[in-house]
Chains A and B, each alone.
Chain A
Amino acid sequence: MKGELKDPRKTFGKAVSDIAENDERIYVLSADSGGSSGFKEFAAAHPDRYFEFGIMEQGVTGIASGMATTGKIPVFCAIAPFVTCRNYEMFRNDLGYMRQNVKIVGRNGGFTYSDLGATHHSLEDYAIMRMIPGVVVLAPQSPDEIRGASKAMLEHEGPVYMRIGNPPIPELYDGEREFVIGKGQLLREGTDLTIISTGSTTVETLKAADALAEKGVSVMVIGMPTVCPIDEEMVLMAAKKTGRIMTVEEHYVHGGLGTLVAEVCAENYPVPIKMHGVPKEYATSGPYDELLHYYKLDAAGIEETALEFLKK
């Protein structure tokens, strides 16, 4: 983990805005959400490519589809549950089925809108988005990955859903790394256990791996910023090398990263798997760090879960 913490939303907004300076196909759509998604400067600089619609995520998803049919690349960012659950049928039909080149970004993903409660949490977005054929699901883990994922999703032809969080996050790498859709990142070598994490939980997973190493447990850590399509090759490499996999995600244990990893292993190379995440319940509210602790998604909780798994 390197350097100062950075705001994911501002990082995302700036990354897209920088690319849009040289790509006039990029339009930014707002459901009263653009300013909070890092697009204030873009809106001021490019009023001809910034459209405000008010609070109507269903309408904006359809509008984005219509715009994309003319060759535009609409980018629409708002609070995660409102651009995944609220507009699900529009996402499925107007973007997925119509194969339109629209980029939807759910910000404040997971339970980063911690104290606002379950209406504003997004703990099923990976699961429901991955079920739409042709939709790429991204969950970048660091500012560098947000920049890389923004570029990759704009270069990718087709609908993309990307989840970003809200609290400031550190860099994971020294310097820039190319972000390739569908590719995982081997962050630590290890032999006793592999932990695969995505999005917001990777930083805490690395801390847990360090603590486990001090206890003599050698943990391979894989960061998986593309949830779908999952990097099958890397999952199977880990299964073969360590014989055990634990998945960690700020998402329901069902349907997300854990399920995707389990599907790959079950069909190709079965190994014991521990899927660690939020149980299927309307998560309680409170300060974000306390929520992470409550659901054992902080470093201590991940470490404890890993040790229990290793005992089995």
Chain B
Amino acid sequence: MTRQGIKELELAAAKSRRNVLRMVEASHHGHLGGAMSCLDIVTALYFYKMNVRPEDPKWADRDRFLLSAGHKCMVQYAVLAERGYFDKSVLDTYGGLKTKIPGHPDMHKLPGVEANTGALGHGLSIASGMALALRAEGKDSKVYVVMGDGELAEGSNWEAAAVAAHYGLDNLVVFVDFNGLQISGKVQDIMNFTPVAEHFAAFGWAVRDIDGNNMEEVVSTLDALPLEKGKPNLIVAHTIKGRGVSFAENKASYHYWTPKGDEMAQAIAEVEANIARLENEVKEAAK
């Protein structure tokens, strides 16, 4: 991909980060840390990799995206809005009564959402079922999943890990958003599933470790899919929790954020400065 293409994706990500803040402005709270850590990946999927039609979200041949760690839902709403699935004014209803964008995604409320995730450890099974059925139909559609790293402790994930490998689902692509932190502290202290890639490799997955906040690396990984023919794909995306909001970065306490003092103003200033910088860089790269 060209430097301009990368910069355009980074700009889309920066704008999506602004969308996340807009939701927190509306509701005064939200799962910030995880939404920000996997945001570059979700942006690259929707703006670069996935075969989707925002104007026809149930198009039968679409690629699917499931956010297994459903509490990170602001990332999905932010990117779907930026990609044109719905009007950005909906973002202002986050946390409100009968909103289309509840605190965990609901496929019957918002076009573009594929599964009602939120209870951890469900997404991988649902995605495996989708991948199996799509392959059985002879479709070329892919199924992409973002899981949390703390979520790996749910045993049901490992049932699905076995299934995907047993059936050789190379149309299934799973990112583990390895920001290393969960609500109570460091993932490795709470329940250690490292090295994550080796765990999945032992089940029969093709695996890769990447910097999940480096757009160039995310894109080159997406270009390399399937990592190995006949094997499901597991990408351990090393990320920074709260990425893009300096005071929240790498802090478990910002897993769930209720802005205090001038935190919101500072966060908005940082993200908007980043948008302005990237707009210039896109222009420069286009020359």
Interface positions of A (Cβ within 8 A of B)? 27, 48-49, 51, 53-54, 56, 58-70, 72, 74, 89-90, 93-94, 97-99
Contacts and interface: CB of A to CB of B under 8 A. Distances in A.
A96 B118 CA distance: 14
Nearest to B131: A66
A58 B125 contact: yes
B6 to A, nearest CB: 33
A89 B119 contact: yes
A72 B132 CA distance: 11
A66 B130 contact: yes
B211 interface: no
A48 to B, nearest CB: 7
Contacts of B35: none
A297 B162 CA distance: 43
B108 to A, nearest CB: 7
B132 A67 contact: yes
A70 B134 contact: yes
Nearest to A59: B159
Contact of A59 (B107, B116, B125, B136): B125
A80 to B, nearest CB: 20
B114 A69 contact: yes
B163 A59 contact: yes
Contact of B132 (A51, A56, A98): A51
Given A93-B116, A94-B126, A98-B116, A70 B156 contact: no
Contacts of A59: 125, 128, 156, 159-160, 162-163
B127 interface: yes
A66 B127 contact: yes
A74 B162 CA distance: 20
A75 to B, nearest CB: 13
Given A66-B126, A66-B128, A66-B129, A97 B116 contact: yes
A67 B162 contact: no
A64 B114 CA distance: 14
